[in-house]
Amino acid sequence: MRLQRAWYAIRGRAYPRTVGAAREPSWIFYDLALPILGVFAFVFVYRALDAPAQFTSYVIMGGATIAFWMNVMWNMAAQFYWEKHQGNLELYMMAPCGLVPILLGMAWGGMLATTVRAAVVVAVGILLFKAPLAVSSWPLFVLIFTLGLIALYGLGMFFSSLFLLWGREAWHMVSLLQEPVYLVSGFYFPVRALGLWVGMAASIIPITLALDGLRQVMFPSFHPGLLPVRWEVLGLAALAVLFVVLALRMLRFMERLARQEGRLSFRW
């Protein structure tokens, strides 16, 4: 019965992220058309500099990855903060399934919808710019992609608790983390260009290792990898475990704080 309730909660929260979002055509336009314009700008910059064709692929992959980062930060990390202002957070706290299935449903629905949007960015980039995108090992590509998503959405679940406890600072934290992550994660260029130690420090963000690993699988003889692929796979697996465990502990802490003490804030 408990697993059945959890499954219903996951499916119910995933529904508005997949089917419900398609009911507003303007959202689809803003989520697809505007990110593609940013990708086009960087492609034209590299072409004006006569950069190798692989840099066009870098930009397209970075533009597709941005969709996942934005989904995690705005639709996962800040979600509980918005639900609190909409009056739904109390219902979540009293739900017999707990907070974990609710966030899993948000993550699952957002992951599916964002994957479709990222695929559209990649498809448009390939068709318009003839970008070379060849995968040398599909099993390794899928493994890196899957571990990256688990670690990334685990980070989003962890941040959702922190941002709720921080209150109105959640909005500012999401905005603050947006552009710096674009830089240090190497969305539009090899992260190794920032230096080994800067890249290693940026590896705490799962996108950094995931994007670098995918590029190594796609351009093994061209891409200057931050670390060997096997080490990046191990790093992503460690980050996935770390952020999922931290997220579960923070969610349990929030539930205890809300149900036993009737508050959702720190006492300094």
Asked if the structure places residue 132 within a domain, the reply is yes
Assigned domain for 33 exists: yes
Q: Answer whether residue 266 is part of any domain.
A: no
The arithmetic mean of pLDDT across residues 158-169, rounded, is 75
Residue pointed to by tokens 């710096």? 180
Tell whether 111 is covered by a domain: yes
For residues 240-246, average pLDDT: 92
The model carries a pTM of 0.84
Q: Is residue 53 part of a domain?
A: yes
Helices and strands (H and E) in the chain: how many: 11, 0
The pLDDT of residue 48 is above 80? yes
Is pLDDT of 65 > 80?
A: yes
Q: Which residue has the tokens 């899957």?
A: 146
Question: Domain for residue 212, yes or no?
Answer: yes
117 — pLDDT class (breaks 50, 70, 90) = confident
Residue 268 located in a structural domain: no
What is the Cβ-side half-sphere exposure of residue 186, based on CA atoms within 13 angstroms?
Answer: 31
Q: What confidence tens digit (pLDDT) does each residue in 184-226 have?
A: 888 888 888 888 898 899 899 999 999 999 999 988 888 888 8
Domain range enclosing 160: 2-261
Mean pLDDT of 245-267: 72
Residue 38 burial (CB count, 10 A):
17
Name the E strands within 4-54: none
Residue 267 included in any domain: no
What is the total count of domains within the chain? 1
